[in-house]
A and B are shown apart, each in its own frame.
Chain A
Amino acid sequence: MSKKNDQPISRKKFMQELRRYERGSVTRRHFLGVTGLGVATAVMGAAVPGLLPRKSWAATDIGDRVILATWPNYHDPANFEKFTEMTGAHVQVNVFGSNEEMLAKLQAGGSGWDVFVPTNYTITTYVGEDLIEPLELSKINNFEASAFDPRFSDAGTVNGTVYAVPKNWGTTGYVVNTKHTGGKQLTTWKEFWDITKTDFTGRTMVHDYQLTTIGNALKYFGYSFNSVDPNELADAEKLLIEVKPHLYAINSDYQPPLRNGDAWMSMCWTGDGKQLNTDMPEMQYVLGKEGGEIWSDYYAVPKSAPHRDAGYALIDFLLDPAVNAKEVLAHGYPVADSRTNELLPKELLEDPILYPAQELLDALEFGAAATLTDPNRAELLARFKSA
């Protein structure tokens, strides 16, 4: 049985992968974006809410449903069941692949969402486009601003008005299978790109996502992750085109090929790094010394929310520290809420993947709104992919 990893994929493993896929629980964000199937909808709770008994003890009647647009593998289903039990509202979850896709859907109108989960750098755009409403904080008693690390809650406030409250935060680094580096520890983005062109040729994956793929290529030259400077972008493009033939894939669904050994290294988010490292200790999560991305996700309410009260009730419920702690235990992304952290086990709070060393964190940058909407970066990625 020791040779198990060398066997072709087993039937059981295949079914697991397939199920995992069918549940929509692929790696956060991008798989669905890549396939254009971001509309994949998982219905939590009952399919036909009206047929189930309603709890009548809820303080106010918030209706029988609330629709949440979020990322895959980013909640504890048990919490949703509890919410339904308490309020009578069933949580319907729409899973998305990218911030761009969420924005596209809200811009197109008629999304039907009550609550959604934008990332820090998108919020000013939503405000500018008049797509989200200032939050009625009186309806979110569990949001206690002082309990949150301002680094991860600031972006929710635009021009002094709170539009979004923090959910989780994390980093974007890369994961490398150290079995193939001869035990060598990688520490920089320069090494990431250089080894791809040599020892790791055909084994590296980058995101199908302009923000991180271009941002981390910019880091090779020491430029800002968020740069929109044409000369700097031209350097990044040259690097990307040069590296492309050596890539295993441009795909944000990187866990399966990393697990079965086809790929050895990939750009990676905190939670995936943690999951891979837990199952395969040789998988090391690296934050490039030059920097890279740090991000924070938020809850916000679209202007068009059809079940507004239920949306607020859901945010309030999920920010309850006891509920939030359960969420963290389920998905493995850190929170910025000190009240929640008090409830979490010490090992988790000391985990170097979730909570990297301060000097590594200091080098990271939050994505900027201008980076997200920059048409030149979008075109650069298209040229890279079609090269």
Chain B
Amino acid sequence: MYGSWANRLLLVPATVWLLVMLVLPLLVVIIFSFGERGTAGGYVPAFTLEQYANLSARFTAFKNTLLLAPTGTFLCLLVAYPLAYFLAVKVHPKWKTLLLVMIIVPFWTSILIRTYAWIFILGGQGLPKVLGFLGIEGVRLINTPTAVLIGIVYAYLPLMVFPVYVSLEKLDKRLLEAASDLGSSPIEAFRNVTLPLSIPGVATGCMLVFILLMGEFLIPALLGGGKVFFIGNALVDLFLQSRNWAYGSAVAATLVIIMLVTVSIYMKLVVRNQQ
């Protein structure tokens, strides 16, 4: 009796937090999404499906997000996996902490300032200029989808590196010896043992990055020059510029539904593969 009472008490903060910070705002968004926009913006209570009927007006933004979020996630993985592998397997333990800290250190600065720095790196006086010295002229990076992807990979790299690193770090090195002993070359051992055993870390990293990318707006705004338009940017404009709360809520609710569906499909696939 005492145990279950204490357990319930332990759950109180989390429950209150979830209610106040997640469930309530989500309810407000859902209620607003059936309302109407006031003449001067804001929200007028109503019950109409008009906002949902009009979702196609943000089709391109949804499409861009659903294309760039998986692409960004995949590129992030492509860069993060070798890095995590290097850190977990190849680096002498003496240097590990230092290198891990070096990955975290940029996080001590605001993402805004770091992304702003990329404006200069990718701008005409940055990387394209360096490429110009090497004879590659006329490269445009800033304000292109490529720049947005570079910014995404940079910003989300640690989120991918750490889960993958943890899964590789706890990998029993003797399993690789066993594979080698049974005739696997290092590459085969990686493919047959390391890779499958790091899948949980890869799955976690991809999930983290993908979910956050679905709501991303800062990097496209800064590195895409306003020309790369994610659903996050559409939401910022809807709430802060056109103040169309009802429509913004419908778009936000749809985004949540898309994420839930994508994530649950993904989870099913991953969990099935783990069985």
A247: chain B residues within 8 A (beta carbon): 225, 227
B273: chain A residues within 8 A (beta carbon): none
Cα distance, A14 to B112, chains bound together (Å): 15
Cα distance, A275 to B236, chains bound together (Å): 29
Among candidates B112, B221, B244, residue contacting A375 with C-beta atoms closer than 8 Å: B244
28 residue pairs bridging A and B, Cβ less than 8 Å apart: A9-B125, A18-B116, A21-B116, A33-B241, A34-B236, A36-B221, A36-B240, A38-B240, A104-B240, A107-B41, A209-B241, A247-B225, A248-B143, A248-B225, A249-B225, A250-B225, A251-B226, A256-B119, A260-B125, A261-B125, A375-B242, A378-B237, A378-B244, A379-B57, A381-B242, A382-B57, A383-B57, A387-B60
Nearest CB of A to B203, in Å: 30
B113: chain A residues within 8 A (beta carbon): 18, 21-22
Among candidates A36, A101, A244, A262, residue contacting B142 with C-beta atoms closer than 8 Å: A262
Q: Is the CB of B60 within 8 A of A35?
A: no
Contact with A along B115-138 (1 / 0, CB 8 A): 011011001111001100000000
Among candidates B42, B129, B222, B229, residue contacting A386 with C-beta atoms closer than 8 Å: B229
Q: Is the CB of B41 within 8 A of A373?
A: yes
Seen from chain B, the residues whose Cβ lies within 8 Å of a Cβ on chain A are 37, 39-42, 57-58, 60-61, 64, 112-113, 116-117, 119-120, 123-126, 129-130, 140, 142-143, 217-218, 221-222, 225-227, 229, 233-234, 236-244
Nearest CB of B to A237, in Å: 13
Question: Across the two chains, which residue of chain A brings its CB closest to B124?
Answer: A262
Any chain B CB within 8 A of the CB of A202? yes
**Total of A-B residue pairs, C-beta within 8 Å:** 133
Given contacts A260-B120, A381-B237, 5 further A-B contacts (CB under 8 A): A38-B240, A98-B241, A260-B123, A373-B39, A382-B242
Question: Across the two chains, which residue of chain B brings its CB closest to A125?
Answer: B40
B140: chain A residues within 8 A (beta carbon): 202
Q: Is the CB of A244 within 8 A of B227?
A: yes
Seen from chain A, the residues whose Cβ lies within 8 Å of a Cβ on chain B are 7-9, 14, 17-18, 21-22, 33-38, 97-98, 100-101, 103-104, 107, 125, 128-129, 202, 205, 208-210, 244, 247-251, 256-257, 260-262, 373, 375, 378-379, 381-383, 385-387
Nearest CB of B to A331, in Å: 23
CB within 8 Å for A208 and B40 given contacts A34-B221, A379-B57 = no
Q: Is the CB of A103 within 8 A of B123?
A: no
Q: Is the CB of A35 within 8 A of B221?
A: yes
A257: chain B residues within 8 A (beta carbon): 123-124, 142
Among candidates A98, A129, A205, A382, residue contacting B40 with C-beta atoms closer than 8 Å: A129
Q: Is the CB of B143 within 8 A of A249?
A: yes
A34: chain B residues within 8 A (beta carbon): 221-222, 226, 236
Cα distance, A18 to B120, chains bound together (Å): 10
B226: chain A residues within 8 A (beta carbon): 34, 208, 249-251, 385
For B61, B123, B217, B221, the residue with the greatest tally of chain A CB atoms inside 10 Å of its CB is: B221
Among candidates A14, A100, A202, A256, residue contacting B240 with C-beta atoms closer than 8 Å: A100
A383: chain B residues within 8 A (beta carbon): 57, 60
Cα distance, A378 to B143, chains bound together (Å): 22
B225: chain A residues within 8 A (beta carbon): 205, 247-251
Nearest CB of A to B136, in Å: 15
For B129, B130, B217, B226, the residue with the greatest tally of chain A CB atoms inside 10 Å of its CB is: B226
Cα distance, A64 to B241, chains bound together (Å): 33
Q: Is the CB of B125 within 8 A of A262?
A: yes
Nearest CB of A to B142, in Å: 7
For A17, A37, A251, A386, the residue with the greatest tally of chain B CB atoms inside 10 Å of its CB is: A386
